[in-house]
Amino acid sequence: MKRFISAIAGGVLCVLLGACSTTQVDRGAYIADTRYHAPSVDSRVRFLVMHYTQSGEARSLAVLTGDDVSVHYVVPDAPRIENGEPVVYQLVPETERAWHAGKSEWQGTTELNAASIGIENVNVGPIDTRQGRTWAPSPPAQVDAIVKLAQDIVTRYKIPPTRVVGHSDIAPQRKIDPGPAFPWRTLYDNGIGAWPDDATVAQHLAGRDPKSLVDVAALQQKLHRYGYEVATDGVLDDKTRKVIAAFQMHFRATDYAGNPDAQTDAIASALLDKYLP
């Protein structure tokens, strides 16, 4: 108590005398002098990872505030509006690591938990019926909140377009979220993430049948160069198919069967031309 009163008194006195130091921080057991600043620094945050929760809001918050997993932000499917703005949940400070990515890799960086901000979007994901699999869309109010949140994050941390990814991009052998119904194109139209130019895709397609098969090794090399963890041995095994499917869910949601077709190859080439020439 004496220390607290002394600190208050000292603070008042330094204001009255105009002798306050803005570079010294009293941390109890020592004082940190912050007048010097090293320019050789980098942000912890270099990637933005999108997910879906595969459950409703209440269940999602219960799981993500439990002991096993966590995430920085949760965007409700029906965000409440306060002062004309959508409300999202922040569960973990951006300066701290959340456990949302698991075993992962993107553009040569492993353990994405340590280098990313994770956004969980409340969405049930795939819905399997007798007629086949469908995917729950994101309601317009949720998309608006996702856009505003993501715009803020990529702007503050200067996250490049190719580093705004889905969980399925960084862990294609384990994950399929945020799924083919996620509004990647809408995010791109609002300055978030990557998207190929239609004219460049058509140029690389060069009149080929979009469904015609291409050289597997060449496609593997393009996907690896873009950021995916994938072999470049020319073998179309289950692992490679999952990587191709993840890429297709992100950039060609109408067909994500994992086939190494000409349209997929053209999209990959167009993205490399645009972002990683």
CA distances from 140 to 60, 130, 179 (A): 20, 28, 17
Q: Note whether 217 and 264 are within 8 A (CB).
A: no
Q: What's the rounded Cα separation, in Å, for the pair 197 and 106? A: 22
Q: 186 Cβ partners below 8 Å, 6+ apart?
A: 143, 147
Q: Which of 101, 93, 114 is nearest to 46 (CA)?
A: 114
Out of 57, 85, 96, 120, pick the active-site residue. 120
Q: 143 Cβ partners below 8 Å, 6+ apart?
A: 183, 186
Catalytic: 120? yes
Q: What's the rounded Cα separation, in Å, for the pair 178 and 150? A: 15
CA distances from 189 to 52, 71, 148, 177 (A): 21, 25, 12, 21
What is the DSSP pairing of strand 164-166 with strand 47-52? Answer: parallel
Residues marked active site are found at 120
